Structure 1
Amino acid sequence: MALSSGLFPWFTAIFALLLFVKFLFKSKNGSSKRLPPGPPGWPVIGNMLDLGEVPHQALNSLQAKYGPVVWLRLGAINTMVVQTAEAATELFKKCDLPFADRKVPDSLTALDYYQGSVAIGTYGDYWRKLRRICTTEFLVHKRITASVSLRQKCIDNLVEWIKADVEKSRKSGGTGEIRLDSYLFVTAFNAIGNIMLSKDVMDSRLEKASDFFETFLVFMEWVGKPNLADFVPVLKWFDPQGIRRNSKKYLERLMDIAAGIVKERIKEKQSRVVKQTHDFLDALLDDEGDDLAKGPDRLTEKNITIVLLEMFFGGTETTSSTIEWGMSELLRNPDVLKKLQDEVDGVVGRDRTVKESDLNSLPYLQATVKEILRLHPVFPMLLPRNSMQETEFMGYDIPKDTQIFVNTWAIHRDPASWSDPLSFKPERFLESDIDFRGQNFELLPFGSGRRTCIGLALGHRMVSLSLANLVHSFDWKVGVGLNAETLDMGEKVGLTMRKLVPLKAIPSPRI
C-alpha cells in the first residue's frame, strides 16, 4: 500500500507518541533467529519510507541487493516479501497452511466486516465452511456455465451503450471520445448483480446512479487509502486519518441496503414465491439452515449480507481494471489488436457479437488475456497473508504474526522466468502450458493455495468475453492529442492497481 506524501505531516504530529511506545516495536523473537535480509530501517517507522509511492515497484528494486526474499519492519509490523517464482513455489507448496491467515486492514474491522469475509477472514472452521459454500454454490463450473446468458446481456448492454454515446457525441460535433473505465465498472457491477441477485443493480447507462453504486464507490476510495494505523497498531485507537470512521460510515449504508435485499428474499422464500432462477443469494439462504446454522460457526443473516457485498467488492474493480489495462495495451500495440480482430472475425464473422461459447476457439485471445494478467496483476502483491506460527522458510526463521507479501508484479517481470519480460507479447503463451490457476508459480495473478481467489474462473470469463466484444464491435484509436507512444501507463495503487490516468479512446462501430 502506497505511503503518499500527504501522510508525511502525520509523522511530525505523532512522533513523540511513537517514541513513547517504541518498546512495542522491538522484536520479540531474539537475536538468535535467522531472518531474511533487508534494508536497515529508521527508528520507530522502520522501512515505511522504503515503500515509496508505488510499493511493488519499490520493493522489486530491492531484489538485486537482498535476493528473492526481503525482510522489512513497517512500523511495528514484521513483513516478509516474496519476489521470485522459486520463493513463491516454496511458500505455496511447503508453507501454505502456516501462512494461511490474513492481515486485516484496520478499515475493514469496522462493523466486524472481516469476521464474515472470505477474502480477509481469519483462517479457521468458519472460514473453511464459508469458502466451501462460495466455491460449490457460486463459482463451480456448472453454476458459472448456467449464468452465461446473464453475462452476455451485460456485455451486449456495454456495446450498445458505447455505440449510443459515440453516435450522440458525433451528432453534436464531438470526436466520439469516451473514458472507458466508467463503462467497464458499471458493466462488471451489473454482471455481479445478475449472478448474485438475478437482476441489474443499477441503470446500465448511468442515467440514474443507484445509492448502492455511489456509496460503493466512496467506500472503495476510503478502504484503498494508505493507513498509518495498519503499520502502528497503537494508532488504531486514535484513527488519526479518520479512515476507519469513514469506512464504517459508508459500510453501514451498504450493509443496510444489502440487508434489505436479504430480508426481502427471505420473505419471498417464506411466502413460497416461485422463482425462475436460483441465484447465489438463494444458495446462501439455503445453507443458512444447514450445518452452518448450528454452533458458533453458523452462517448468520449478517454474514450473508457481508458475503453479498464482498462479491461486489471482489468482482467489480478487479474485472474492470484488468479490461482497461488490456485495452490500453492493445492501443499501444496495434499489431496485436489487428491479430486479435482477425482471429475473432475468422471465428465469429461480422454479423453477430461474440458469445461465450466462442472463447475456446480463440487461442490468441486467451494468450492476450494471460499477457494482460502477467503485466498488470490487479493485486500486485496479492492480499497480505499472516503467519499463524513460527515457520522455517527457505532456511529463515519467520516469526509468528509476520505479514507476508507475494510481489506478483515482480515475479511476472522477472527475467529469470520470462524472456523480454517488459514487452507485451501474447505470442509467448501460444506454445506454452503456463496457466494462471495457481500451479505455475511464475504466473500468479489470482494467487495460489488455500487463499486462491475464488472468483478466478468467473473473472477470467468476464475479461475474455468483454475484450473479445470490444475489439470485435469497434475499431479503436487513442484519445484526442495522444498516440500509442504517449499513452500514459502509470500505476495508481489503492485497493487494487489501477491506471493512474484513465484510458480515453475513440471507438468506431465495425459490425
Structure 2
Amino acid sequence: MVSLSQLLAVLLSTSLFLFFLRKWHLSHSPESQKRLPPSPSKLPVIGNLHQLVSSPLRSLLSLSRRYGPLTLLHFGKFPFIIASSAEAAREIMKTQDLIFSNRPQLSIPGGLFYNNRDVVFAPYGEYWRQIRSICVLHLLSNKRVLSYRRVREEETSIMVEKIRRVALGKKYGGGSDFKESLAEIGALMWVVPLWELIPCLSWTRRFTSVDKRIARVVKGIDEFLEVVIQEHRVRDRRGSDGSELDFVDILLDLQRENGSLSPIEDFTIKAIDMFSAGTGTTVTSLKWAVVELIRNPTTMKILQNEVREVAGSKDDIEEQDIEKMPYLKVVLKESLRLHPPNEILVARESTQDTKLLGYDIASGIRVMVNVWAISRDPSLWKNPEEFRPDRFLETSIYFRDCVV
C-alpha cells in the first residue's frame, strides 16, 4: 500500500518534471528565438497597467528612458509596443506605413463612428483607402482649405466679439446640444474600459454607463447631422454670394456621381469626423498656447508688440497678416512641441510580421507613438522641458521633422 509521503513525493516530482519540461519547450520554441523589445516585469491579468496609474505620460517617458525607444508593455491581455523616439516614429509612420496602417477595433470608437466608418478608426482596406483619398483630395487640399478663408475670418471675428462681451461683464449664450455632444465625444475617446483590455471582466460592462453615454451622444449627433444632410440635398448648392461648396456639398456630389458604386453613404458623411477632430485639437492647442504665454510674460509682450505692429489701426486681423508675424509662428510651434493635442497617437496594428529597429514585431500587435516623449527628447531639443519659442528662430528644424 502506497503511503501518503510516497504519494506526495510522486506528485512533487511529477510537477517539477512538467514545470521544467514546459520551460525547456518554451526556450526551444520559435517564439523564444525572436528578439522582442525590452519590457518591464508585469503582473498577472493586468500586465503593466499598474505602472500607469498615477501619471501615464510621465510613467511612459520614464520607461522609455530606462528601456529604450521601443518598449513592450502589456495592458491587460494585449501587448503594446510604445515608440518613443523620432527614429521609431518615422519607421512606423513613413518607412513601414502600409504595414502599420491597420487599426485595432475598439468598442467606444466603433459605437461613436458608425462601426468605425470614419477615417481614423476604419480598418485598413479598400474602404479606408477610398475615404482617405476623398478627404485628402476633395476636403483637405490646399485649394479647398484656402477657399474657406472668408469663413475662418468671419468665425474668428465672432469669437473675438464674444470675448469682448464677456470682458464687459455680461455672459452671452448657453451653448448648444451639438456642442455638448462634441465635448462628450472628446471625453469618451479617452475612456479605456478595463473590460476591453481584460476580457474576463466583460461581465462588468453591464454595470457601467459607457454604453448609455455612447447611445445618447450618437442619437444627438445623428439627429443633427441628418437635418444638415437633408437641408443640403434640397437647398441651392452654391450660396447667393458665390461661396464655395462646403464639406457636405462635396460629399453629396461624390455620392451622386458614383451612384451605387460610391463608398459614401449617409452614415459615411456622418462618420467622417471633421467636427470633433477639427475643433477639439484646435481648441486644445490654443488653450495651451495661452497658458504658456501667461506663464511667460516676456514672451507674451514680444508677441503683443509684433501683432500690434502688423495690425496697426485695423479692427480685425486677416489671414494674410499672419505671414508677417514670424514670432507668432514660433510661439505656436513651441506650444505644439510641448503640448501636442494628441500626446499619444491612436493605436496602430501591424498587418504582418516585420522588423522594427532590429526587434521582431509580430502580426497583429498594437503600436502607439508617444509624441509627448519625443517632444521631450534631450537628444533633439536643448532644455526640452522649457518653453522657449526662440529655439525655432535659432534653427531650421521644424517640430514635425522630428517625426516624419
How does the TM-score come out when normalised to structure 1?
Answer: 0.69
Q: Does structure 1 conserve the Cα–Cα contact (< 8 Å) formed by 2:113 and 2:271? A: no
Match of 1:137 in 2: 138
SS at match of 2:116: helix
Match of 1:304 in 2: 269
Aligned with 1:281 (options 248, 266, 269): 248
1:282-309 superposed Cα distances (whole Å, 9 cap, x missing partner): 0000111234x444x72111111212xx
Aligned with 1:264 (options 226, 231, 247): 231
1:245-285 superposed Cα distances (whole Å, 9 cap, x missing partner): 4213321221122122112212336xx78754311110000
Q: CA deviation at 1:342?
A: 1.4
The separation in 2 between residues aligned to 1:351 and 1:86, in whole angstroms, is 46
Aligned with 1:252 (options 188, 213, 219): 219
1:180-216 superposed Cα distances (whole Å, 9 cap, x missing partner): xxxxxxxxxxxxxxxxxxxxxxxxx852432222233
Map residues 45-444 of structure 1 onto 2, 5 A cutoff: 45-110=46-111, 113-168=114-169, 207-233=173-199, 235=201, 239-240=205-206, 241-268=208-235, 276-277=242-243, 278-291=245-258, 293-295=259-261, 298-307=263-272, 310-436=273-399, 438=400, 440=401, 442=402, 444=403
The separation in 2 between residues aligned to 1:161 and 1:41, in whole angstroms, is 51
The separation in 2 between residues aligned to 1:421 and 1:273, in whole angstroms, is 49
Structure 1 residues 302 and 168 mapped into 2: Cα distance closer, same or farther (>3 Å)? same
- What is the RMSD of the two structures over their aligned residues, measured on CA atoms? 2.3
SS at match of 1:81: strand
Q: Does structure 1 conserve the Cα–Cα contact (< 8 Å) formed by 2:177 and 2:220? A: no
What are structure 1's unaligned runs of at least 5 residues? 1-25, 170-204, 449-511
Q: CA deviation at 1:379?
A: 0.6
Q: Does structure 1 conserve the Cα–Cα contact (< 8 Å) formed by 2:112 and 2:214? A: no
The separation in 2 between residues aligned to 1:286 and 1:321, in whole angstroms, is 33
Q: CA deviation at 1:29?
A: 7.9
What are structure 2's unaligned runs of at least 5 residues? 1-25
Larger Rg belongs to: 2
The separation in 2 between residues aligned to 1:64 and 1:386, in whole angstroms, is 24
Q: Does structure 1 conserve the Cα–Cα contact (< 8 Å) formed by 2:345 and 2:369? A: yes
1:11-39 superposed Cα distances (whole Å, 9 cap, x missing partner): xxxxxxxxxxxxxxx9x983232210011
Q: CA deviation at 1:86?
A: 2.2
The separation in 2 between residues aligned to 1:213 and 1:374, in whole angstroms, is 28
Q: Does structure 2 conserve the Cα–Cα contact (< 8 Å) formed by 1:223 and 1:247? A: no
In structure 1, what residue type is equivalent to 2:252? L
SS at match of 1:239: helix
The separation in 2 between residues aligned to 1:118 and 1:83, in whole angstroms, is 24
Structure 1 residues 233 and 433 mapped into 2: Cα distance closer, same or farther (>3 Å)? farther
SS at match of 1:378: coil
SS at match of 2:390: helix
Q: CA deviation at 1:234?
A: 5.2
Q: CA deviation at 1:85?
A: 1.4
1:49-106 superposed Cα distances (whole Å, 9 cap, x missing partner): 1222432221110122211110011111110001111222332333211011112431
Structure (1/2) with the larger helix percentage: 2
The separation in 2 between residues aligned to 1:249 and 1:119, in whole angstroms, is 22
Q: Does structure 2 conserve the Cα–Cα contact (< 8 Å) formed by 1:106 and 1:244? A: no
SS at match of 1:132: helix
Q: CA deviation at 1:320?
A: 0.8
The separation in 2 between residues aligned to 1:208 and 1:67, in whole angstroms, is 48
Structure 1 residues 233 and 262 mapped into 2: Cα distance closer, same or farther (>3 Å)? farther
SS at match of 1:62: helix
Q: CA deviation at 1:346?
A: 2.0
Range 48-57 or range 230-239, more displaced: 230-239
Range 107-116 or range 76-85, more displaced: 107-116
SS at match of 1:58: helix
1:365-385 superposed Cα distances (whole Å, 9 cap, x missing partner): 111110000000111111111
- Aligned residue pairs, count: 374
In structure 1, what residue type is equivalent to 2:271? I
Q: CA deviation at 1:422?
A: 0.8
Q: Does structure 2 conserve the Cα–Cα contact (< 8 Å) formed by 1:84 and 1:411? A: yes
Q: Does structure 2 conserve the Cα–Cα contact (< 8 Å) formed by 1:80 and 1:405? A: yes
SS at match of 1:113: coil
Range 66-75 or range 156-165, more displaced: 156-165
Q: Does structure 1 conserve the Cα–Cα contact (< 8 Å) formed by 2:310 and 2:324? A: yes
SS at match of 1:424: coil
